Amino acid sequence: MHEKILVVDDDKLNAALMREICENAGYVVVEVHEGAKAVDLVCKEMPDLVLLDIMMSVKDGFEVCAEIKSNPETARIPVIMVTAIGDLDSKIRCMELGADDYITKPFRMFDLQARVRTVMDSRLPKRAAGEKSSSSRGPGHVGGFRLLRVDLDYEFKRARRYGHELTCAMVRIDGYDELFRTERVREAMDIINTVASALVENLREVDRIYRIDDDVFVLVMPETDRLSAQVPLGRIRQILSQQIGSRSALTTHEASFPEQEFETSQDMLRELTGKLGK
């Protein structure tokens, strides 16, 4: 039996494009062009995944996602939000609402199919309290949006419960978008690979790395205060300045608990997002 995807977008051309890409990958696709009708259709069709555009009139994607995730009958259905490129604040809000991933427009066929397949394959029950974090996978793994949301929440609750320190760092590659605008795609991908390798090679095994946007990585560093986090981050900046040179640079910001009085893990991400926007 083929897996079913519900595409929600009030732009019929975008919806048709997503439908074609998903059907080419072997999925059954149902299409709806109004956010107001999407929730009812989710309940009726019970799809295996929802591809949900954010920018819609009457009822936007945030509202639709919130209703899907607040209904016990549909809460476990994965949702991939479709966002505008560079809109990191919206992506953090997607995470807060329980979305499983996001993809930015314009997207390529392979990227969309890969994101859909990844989310389909990772539909796992939510971790029970006290169970080991999914970030216990081997060192060197670079996770994505969905894994960050789960792992950071786990580490934050663990830090608060046992009085441990926790630092979350955001690393942005400056000038990355400009390389794409000037069609220097291969150079941009080379920089991404160089940054990812430097992060993997210079962090501890217990630290975890996530790529949450084209040019943004998030690092979760358990039992680490802000000052201690500066040591590997400084070393990484120095290494990359030698390897990348003038082609790009890194901007880093940190948020630390309990030095800063955060109530939730999402508060830490919001703190970092606000700094990157300045």
pLDDT (tens digit, 9 = 90+) per residue, 102-143? 887 777 777 788 778 878 876 644 433 334 444 444 445 788
pTM: 0.63
Question: Mean per-residue pLDDT for 77-83?
Answer: 89
| pLDDT value at 277 more than 60 | no
CA distance 168 to 273: 11
* Chain-centroid distance, C-alpha 246: 28
Q: State the Cα angle at 214 between 33 and 51, rounded to 5°.
A: 20
Q: What is the distance between the alpha carbons of residues 57 and 159, in angstroms, rounded to a whole number?
A: 41
- Write out the two tokens for 252: 């880093």
pLDDT band at residue 1 using 50, 70 and 90 as cut-offs: low
The phi, psi pair for 221, rounded to 5°, reads: -125, 90
Instruction: Specify the DSSP class assigned to residue 246.
Output: G
Look up the CATH number of domain 134-276. 3.30.70.270
CA distance 258 to 95: 22
* Spatial CA neighbour of 273 closest among 148, 119, 103, 161: 148
Residue 181, pLDDT above cutoff 70: no
CA–CA distance, 228 with 198 (Å, rounded to integer): 18
Task: Report pLDDT for 112.
Answer: 84
**Domain spans of the chain, in order of start:** 4-121, 134-276
Q: Which of 36-45, 46-55, 93-102, 149-158 has the lowest mean pLDDT?
A: 93-102
Domain 4-121, CATH 3.40.50.2300 — does that match? yes
